[in-house]
Chain A
Amino acid sequence: MSTVRVRFFASYAELAGCETTAVEVSLPATVRDVVRRVREQLPGTRALPERPLAAVNLRHVKLDAPVGDGDEVALLPPLAGG
């Protein structure tokens, strides 16, 4: 099992009840697997969209992107910068 750090922001942090958590996944794993584990661990995140925006190690990725031990996965509400 590998540990992935997960970060939540803005409205998603309010749903999760925290700004960061850690989940364990067995490799090979993707962001989608991480989202699934998050939904199991934090019931509030079940209200997240089916396919949330995500980033791994500070870069936008799709849900089928691979994750590895020690990666930082971020689940991003619809972007509103500018």
Chain B
Amino acid sequence: MTHLTRVPISIDDLIRAVGGPERGGTCVFLGTVRDAPADGGVTGIEYSGYDTMADAELDRILAEAGKRWPESRIAVRHRLGLVETEEASIAIAAAAPHRTDAFDACRYVIEAVKQRLPIWKKELRADGSALWVDPHGRPAVVGPPAPPV
């Protein structure tokens, strides 16, 4: 199944996917698009990705987490396309018999996503401009200027 979606993420569906009578703790992480008033305001972020690799990488991350916390069940959804300010761009639900494993598994997945998921964001500013931003929300520096031809 795909972990990517172009429509708003249903947290309820995610929680249902990991729930079960033997799992007494569920940890949910939401990453939401934030405004940046100091930069003139952000109305949303356009997410694009290397879809097939992002899906495969999420499969691998979930498999790794499943090995480390074998009694857990984890689900993740990442948005692509336009995500408006305050909407969730990513949601992770991790359920385990006890809260410690649920928190740890959830943390493991979001940190791995940040390091490994081939997804990029173009910030849409209130003044109508748009620019690629790096993982810290700063304008992406692509590289040195091209040498003269």
Q: Please tell me the size bucket of the interface on A.
A: 20 to 34
Q: Is B132 engaged at the interface, CB distance under 8 Å to the other chain?
A: yes
Is B132's CB under 8 angstroms from A10's CB? yes
- CB-nearest residue of chain B to A60: B116
CA distance A38 to B93 in the complex (A): 41
Within 8 A of B (CB), among A1-29: 7, 9-12, 15
In the complex, chain A residues whose CB is within 8 Å of the CB of B146? 43-44, 46-47
Q: Give the dominant DSSP class at A's interface.
A: mixed
CA distance A44 to B142 in the complex (A): 11
A74-B118 contact, Cβ under 8 Å, with A7-B50, A9-B49, A81-B78? yes
Is B119's CB under 8 angstroms from A81's CB? yes
As a 0/1 sequence over residues 46 to 60 of chain A, the CB contacts with chain B under 8 angstroms (1 = contact) are 111110000100111
Is A55's CB under 8 angstroms from B50's CB? yes
Q: Is B36 engaged at the interface, CB distance under 8 Å to the other chain?
A: no
In the complex, chain A residues whose CB is within 8 Å of the CB of B149? 43
Pairs across A and B, CB under 8 Å, 8 listed: A9-B49, A11-B120, A11-B132, A48-B142, A50-B143, A58-B52, A79-B114, A82-B110
